[in-house]
Amino acid sequence: MAAVLIGLVAVFFLGMGLLGLVAPGRLIAPFGITLDSATARTEVRAVYGGFGVAVAVLLGFAAFDVGGIQRGVAISVAVALVGMAFGRLVARFAERPERFYPSWLYFWVELVMAALLVASVL
């Protein structure tokens, strides 16, 4: 069961990462951000693309507990996801995003994925 839960989160990160590498503007467009320079597109490719793929690969190894890393990786990525959700919560009080999508949708996605990862190692 742990492999399935971790695998679900890995698939999300892989999808985000691949889209970030191939079409950075498309990935970030729902947030109202335009990428009008190579520097901006490079940043999205690095942070959303490369990082997303790297986390997906790490979660893939964790799903099969390669080297006994499952618990540590699952908790570490869960904490990172909670940190992302916390940033969105801070934004709620600082600027109040206008609508549910994309900010609040991803707030809940991040919390659910963190919960799946924690549940996978309990």
- Note the pTM of the prediction, 2 decimals: 0.91
For residue 50, pLDDT beyond 90: yes
Q: What domain range includes position 49?
A: 1-120
Calpha distance 33→68 (Å, rounded) = 40
Helix then strand count (H, E) for the chain reads 6, 0
pLDDT in tens, 23-40: 999 999 999 999 999 999
- pLDDT score recorded for residue 98: 81
Which alpha helices (H) appear in 45-104, and where do they start and end? 51-63, 70-94
C-alpha closest to that of 31 among 48, 17, 55, 15: 48
Q: How many domains does the chain have?
A: 1
Q: What is the mean pLDDT of residues 67-90?
A: 97
SS3 32: coil
